Amino acid sequence: MHYEGKIYRPWMEADSLLIQTTLGCSNNQCTFCTMFDDKRFKVRDIDDVFKDIEEARQLYRHVPSIFLVDGNVLAARTEFLLKVLNKITETFPEIENIALYAGYNDIRRKSVEQLKQLKAAGLTMIYAGFESGDPVVLKRIKKALTPEQIIEGAAMAKEAGIRLLASIIFGLGGRERSKEHIIETTKILNQSAPEEIASLALALQPGSELEKEAQRGEFHMPSPLQVLEEEEYMLANLDIPTYYWGDHGNNIASMKGWLPEHQQTFLSKVQHEIRTNPITQQNVIQTFAW
């Protein structure tokens, strides 16, 4: 297989075959992220993508799941994506899941009909991080996204029948805007009703703009207690059926499972951590780079 630059995939896609379809991220300005600083956004040559798919067929006898990288793969033209998806399903008739990264505005730039075509061609899941529902935080982190656009993009994916995993970041509002961040984020989750939710605690990525803001005293990292209280608020106020991936390595209370079936259990676990975990006495949360 041939990959260019650093390669990232969601932790729940650990067993998936990775096919590099685009390079970099079409936004690539978020202050908290350095994932694709080593390359500019580009759609790979279709023949090169096909060669990787064919080579993977020679290497692996059974491939049930494929994840398309890099960031914002859905930014590519629909015709290109349909060719990639058709090549995958022809080459791997056993395939069950094909997923990719996308921004909510990438979804919005497609028509619902185009999204339905992608679904029919084999696309099963979109991973879309909106990180925060607070418009102030979204502007600060240069997400180039509004709450209204998040809701619209999610609704389009739902209408097309494509599952959506929405990722959020606890602590992204910093010490001063923790409440607004989690209240508005939970509100957006309830309004957009993603089929899955993934949460992770904020980590300052080395070299990121947010790290520099923290060093200059312009951004104040939250405490572990604030991060736990954000998760507590979210779990207490979510009122949608969804699958919750709360088991990222930076999260204090690790859990995953269906909501609302396990919601009270998860809420009790977070509340137990708030009452008993010594980490809540620390002033600043300590997390590891992704």
| One-character DSSP codes across the chain | ----S-----GGGTTSEEEE-EES-SS---TT--TTTTS--EEPPHHHHHHHHHHHHHH-S---EEEEESTTGGGS-HHHHHHHHHHHHHH-TT--EEEEE--HHHHHHS-HHHHHHHHHHT--EEEEEEE---HHHHHHTT----HHHHHHHHHHHHHHT-EEEEEEEETTTTTTTHHHHHHHHHHHHHHH--SEEEEEE----TT-HHHHHHHTTSS-PPPHHHHHHHHHHHHHH--S-EEEEE--TT-SS-EEEEETTTHHHHHHHHHHHHHH-GGGG-SS------
pLDDT of residue 271: 98
| pLDDT band for position 201 (cuts 50, 70, 90) | very high
Give the sheet arrangement for strand 97-101, strand by strand.
17-20, 65-69, 97-101, 125-131, 163-170, 196-201, 242-246, 255-259
The pLDDT assigned to 2 comes to 87
Closest CA to 242 of 130, 134, 164, 159: 164
Place 59 in a pLDDT band, splitting at 50, 70 and 90.
Answer: very high
Could you tell me which residues come within 8 angstroms of residue 55 by beta carbon, excluding any fewer than 6 positions away? 1
Q: Indicate if the pLDDT at residue 290 is higher than 90.
A: no
The pair of three-digit structure tokens given for residue 283, joined into one six-digit string: 């002033």
**Fold observed for domain 11-281:** TIM Barrel (3.20.20)
Q: Nearest 5°: phi and psi at 252?
A: -75, -45
Report the alpha-carbon distance of residue 92 to residue 193 in Å, rounded.
31
What per-residue confidence (pLDDT) applies to 105?
Answer: 97
Q: CA 179 to CA 222: how far, in whole Å?
A: 11
pLDDT computed for residue 38 by the predictor: 87
| Domain chopping of the chain, boundaries | 11-281
Mean pLDDT, the chain, integer: 97
Q: pLDDT-based confidence at 71, cuts 50/70/90? A: confident
- Name the least confident of 2-6, 57-61, 85-89: 2-6
β-strand 97-101 against 42-43: which pairing, if any?
unpaired
Q: Residue 236: left (phi > 0), alpha (psi -120 to 50), or beta? A: alpha
% of the chain with per-residue pLDDT over 90: 95
Q: What is the model's pTM?
A: 0.95
Mean pLDDT of 114-141: 98
Six token digits for residue 16:
């998936």
Give the number of other Cβ atoms within 10 Å of residue 1's Cβ: 13
pLDDT band for position 220 (50/70/90)? very high
Does the pLDDT of residue 1 top 80, yes or no? no
Encoded amino acid at 239, one letter: D
pLDDT at 244 > cutoff 80: yes
Stretch 185-209: mean pLDDT: 97
Share of the chain above pLDDT 70, in %: 100
The pLDDT of 161-179, averaged and rounded, is: 98
Q: What separation in angstroms does the CA of 60 have from each of 13, 19, 85, 172?
A: 17, 13, 18, 40
